[in-house]
Amino acid sequence: MSILFTPLTIGSTTFRNRLWVAPMCQYSAVDGVPAEWHHVHLAQFASGGAGLVVAEATAVSPEGRISPDDTGIWNDAQQRAWAPIVDALHARGALAGLQLAHAGRKASTWSPFAGHRGTVPGDQGGWQPVAPSALAYEGYATPTELDLDGIDKVVADFAAAARRAVDAGFDVLEVHAAHGYLLHQFVSPLSNQRTDEYGGSFENRIRLLTRVVTAVKDAAPQALVAVRFSATDWADGGWDVDDTVRASAVVRDLGADLIDVSSGGLVAHQQITTGPGYQVAFAAAVRAGAGIAVNAVGMIDTGEFAEEILARGDADAIMSAREWLRDPHFALRAARDLGDAVAWPPQYERARWR
């Protein structure tokens, strides 16, 4: 049996394998409520053998949405809509994860399907975005700087969302502190120019993140809590790998169980060099330096490559995104390519071997 298809236990949570589905925004919700598209989209990955399926960035408040078409988890209707989707994932053998998110200054933007970019005007369903500082992301509206009451509301919104998520049945809650969204905006000096207890020093800049992780852990003690970091801003003077290792150790001590290591997204002038596995070294640095389980992500599109990463000890699990869109049965194919005798849905058994 390959490492990729060996079960993984983190705390009290056991995954059937280590090939997981990364969160991918679908921009297909109405009033934050997931619909039939989300049910079919996510359930197919569980049928395809994923060990964990993490649903898209899901806003903890209306103003936390990236676009008006994002999913949410701030009210009862959304919670009820997520529950049968979670049941479908469980029925197919996968664990269910939800990425809890607030877009900050990158909120109230048009979805990729709108045909144009930028901030959605208020008379077309948009709203005023908020951020640690009144600094706009290039091409977007200038956000309002959060005051201390606003920061307290963000923490309360994450906690309430965590409670709703576990009530809907989710096993894994991922705190989104990456890709230029609100928590990432707070930790990076490129977007945080505050002079109070939430700005300046490293300890101050991660203060909101640590409050959110603590609140989520307290609200949902039965869930596995992950944190997604952008390991580097890919820009001079920004958040970097050393910061990520240091912050990962801090959230580990607060009860986080897993670090999801990605990168970029904070500033438009980022300079990223991409290629297969281009973010794996960041995951390896966090795993070695912070002593916490990590998953690697980024152009990992074959079972053989995923197995190589795990065999080197660079990560504990692998998340992929686009490859699952190309092939919703990626895990079954990878197991077949690796010669692993994993269980297939009986309806698909005829395709297992030649």
Spans of all domains in the chain: 8-351
* pLDDT, tens digit, 9 for 90 and up, residues 118-148: 999 999 999 999 999 999 999 999 999 999 9
Question: Residue 160 and residue 87: Cα distance in Å, rounded?
Answer: 21
DSSP element (H, E) containing 246: helix 241-253
Q: Judge whether 284 and 155 are in contact, CB under 8 Å.
A: no
Instruction: Say how many CA atoms lie within 13 Å of 67 toward its Cβ.
Output: 18
Chain position carrying tokens 């048009």: 110
- Tell me which residues of the chain have a pLDDT lower than 70: 354
Give ∠ CA 330-67-217 in degrees, rounded to 5: 70
CATH class of 8-351: alpha beta
Rounded Cα distance, 177 and 209, in Å: 8
Q: Residue 36: CB partners within 8 Å, gap ≥ 6?
A: none
Q: Which residues contact 112 (CB under 8 A, 6 or more apart)?
A: 27
Catalytic residues: 181
Using alpha carbons, select from 300, 250, 256 the residue that is nearest to residue 21: 300
The residue assigned the tokens 């399926």 is 53
Note if the pTM is more than 0.95: yes
Per-residue pLDDT tens digits for 35-50: 999 999 999 999 999 9
* Cβ proximity of 106 and 126 under 8 Å: no
pLDDT attached to residue 158: 99
Q: What is the pLDDT of residue 353?
A: 78
What's the confidence (pLDDT) of residue 281? 98
Which is it for the CA torsion 248, 254, 259, 261, positive or negative? negative
Burial of residue 236, with CB atoms counted within 10 A of its CB: 0-12 exposed, 13-18 middle, 19 or more buried: exposed
For residue 352, the model assigns a pLDDT of 85
